[in-house]
Amino acid sequence: MRPRLILGVCATVAVGLSAALIAGTACRVDVPYYCCTTQQSCDVDNGGGVVTGCLPRYPDRPYCDDQGAFPASEGIGRTCIADPHPGLGTICITAADCTDATYSACIDQHCQGCSGAADCTAVEPVCSDAHACIGCTQEAECSSYSATPHCGASGTCVACRDGGDCTDPSAPACDSATASCRACRADAECGSEICDEGTGKCVPESEIVYVDGTNGSATPGCTKVAPCKTVTQGVAAVSGMRKLVKIRPGSYSESVTISDRSMKIVADGVSLKPGSTGEPGLNILGASTVAVEGLRVHSGGGVGGDGVRCTGGGGTPVLAMRRVSIEDNGGQGLVANDCVITLERSTVTGNDAGGISIIRSDFSITNNVIIRNGGPDSAFGGVSIFQKPPSGTAGAKFEFNTVVGNASQPTALAAGGVICASVTAPLSMGSSIVYGNTGTDKQVDGGNCSWTYSDIESATSTVPGAGNINATPMFVSEAASDYHIQPGSPCINAADPAATINVDIDGDSRPVGARSDMGADEVLQ
């Protein structure tokens, strides 16, 4: 047997060793091919020796058989032998010997990325034949990661690939950027086709009436798989817990009346054209409470062909519209008569008899573009407010609107932009742009509409009121109907510093600078 290094006693005593050495003084015999890979193993023979590898001493015997497990060591442990696993990679004793980031772990004396899946992470969960951690290709390879059990397109184990992987009702949407489940933010993220943005949850199908003008049936249950064909059918189907109407994208030719009903209509990508001349596209009556999102109401025919009407009588209807477009109607765009009306982030354009008419109604009109309404025969152009709201000044809110290019009759009682008539209590109007309207020399009229922090065109002097200016707004392109304002506009950072509205017509955050910008658009500088 080959001698070993022993601290304290020599396994083989050379001739001539002194009695003192034999008596117990430490001795050391250098043995060819000796090695040890762990402190524990080295202590067996050395009594505290240091880890000793085979390289660079024995380049043809780079592997340390610490336990004598391979035939090449003849059963003697701690012996350098030829590499029994040459396919595993570079020889090492510790991780410090591994300089390739891909193969940075010292496993079985070889620089490897892994010896099995347990050595890998969710980022690269698979241990390849070359002992490197690589991406997944199938679901089973991520099954051990409870938080990220799905194999993503990039080969990383992820929490979700689409909304179908998100089972928590409070986080039903799969975020494409982070591949993690989160609250829904848009209807398209929900299998039911409606997201409750207030809670971030998808609305259950059982609470929704579905309308599909292309694939719907005339005698349906108005369900997701068997939708109604018309909006009128969908409105009639609202009952009990089913108070949401989802209208699928398309063009609908009908006049829709809602009387003494409560519902919300979600209609992104939907165009509604009145079915008969002289009728409105959407008519809200009685004690109704209706919310509408995303609808386009257009091309109503005749003088009475208003886009939207909200009329009391037997009750005060409440109508809230967001992200709607009311355009090119033969009558007025929006008529609110003895109603409670909210209009936000919407466009009212090209309506022959005027844009918005508010009569004895509480109103909140914010973040809207009101353009090119009225004409030489219309009583007003952009907006008409007649008589005070029932709630007085508390029932009037007109902020961050862009009222441009509207026209009215050239009479003393008209105004192309905004007119207030028979309003007996001062109403605050602010942070808006009223410019380039025609018909009279007045952009705004009516003594009890008080303007502040607005850009109002005037041929003489600036309209009285804190923060008002009289300067070209600098729109991107009126010819192309682009009423975003350009950098450098005098309307930037000029709105009411106390304003609380935190988004613009596009949904962009306000303010970007120290203060919000006047009008419907906030410039993203």
CA dist 93 and 85 (Å) reads 15
* pLDDT score for 49: 74
φ, ψ at 258 (rounded to 5°) = -125, 115
CB 365, CB 397: distance < 8 Å:
yes
What single letter denotes the amino acid at residue 143?
Answer: S
Strand partners, 340: 318, 362
CA dist 234 and 248 (Å) reads 11
CA dist 117 and 125 (Å) reads 6
CA dist 50 and 71 (Å) reads 25
Q: Where are the beta strands (DSSP E) in 372-473?
A: 383-386, 396-399, 402-404, 418-421, 427-430, 433-435, 444-445, 449-452, 455-456
What sections of 337-463 are H helices per DSSP? none
pTM reported for the whole predicted model: 0.77
Q: Is 291 left (phi over 0), alpha (psi -120 to 50) or beta?
A: beta
Q: Count Cα atoms within 13 angstroms, Cβ side, for 329.
A: 39
| 3-class SS shares of the chain: helix, strand, coil, % to 5 | 10, 30, 60
CB 238, CB 264: distance < 8 Å:
no
Strand partners, 289: 262, 318
CB within 8 Å of 86: residues ≥ 6 apart: none
- Containing 19, the helix (H) or strand (E) segment is helix 19-22
Q: Tell how strand 157-158 and strand 150-151 pair up.
A: antiparallel
Q: What dihedral angle (degrees, nearest 10) is formed by the CA atoms of 332, 338, 339, 341?
A: 60
CB 251, CB 267: distance < 8 Å:
no
CB 200, CB 183: distance < 8 Å:
yes
CB 415, CB 442: distance < 8 Å:
yes
**Closest listed residue to residue 395, CA positions, set 452, 349, 335, 336:** 336
* pLDDT score for 27: 38
CA dist 15 and 8 (Å) reads 18
Distinct helix (H) and strand (E) counts, the chain: 3, 39
Ordered per-residue pLDDT tens for the chain, 525 residues: 444 444 433 333 333 333 333 333 333 446 789 999 888 888 876 666 788 899 999 999 999 999 999 999 999 999 999 999 988 889 999 888 999 888 888 888 999 888 889 989 999 999 988 888 999 999 999 999 999 999 999 999 999 999 999 999 999 999 999 999 999 999 999 999 999 999 999 999 999 999 999 999 988 899 999 999 999 999 999 999 999 999 999 999 999 999 999 999 999 999 999 988 899 999 999 999 999 999 999 999 888 899 999 999 889 999 999 999 999 999 999 999 999 999 999 999 999 999 999 999 999 999 999 999 999 999 999 999 999 999 999 999 999 999 999 999 988 777 899 999 888 888 999 999 999 999 887 899 877 889 999 999 988 889 999 999 999 999 999 999 999 999 999 999 999 999 999 999 999 999 999 999 999 999 997
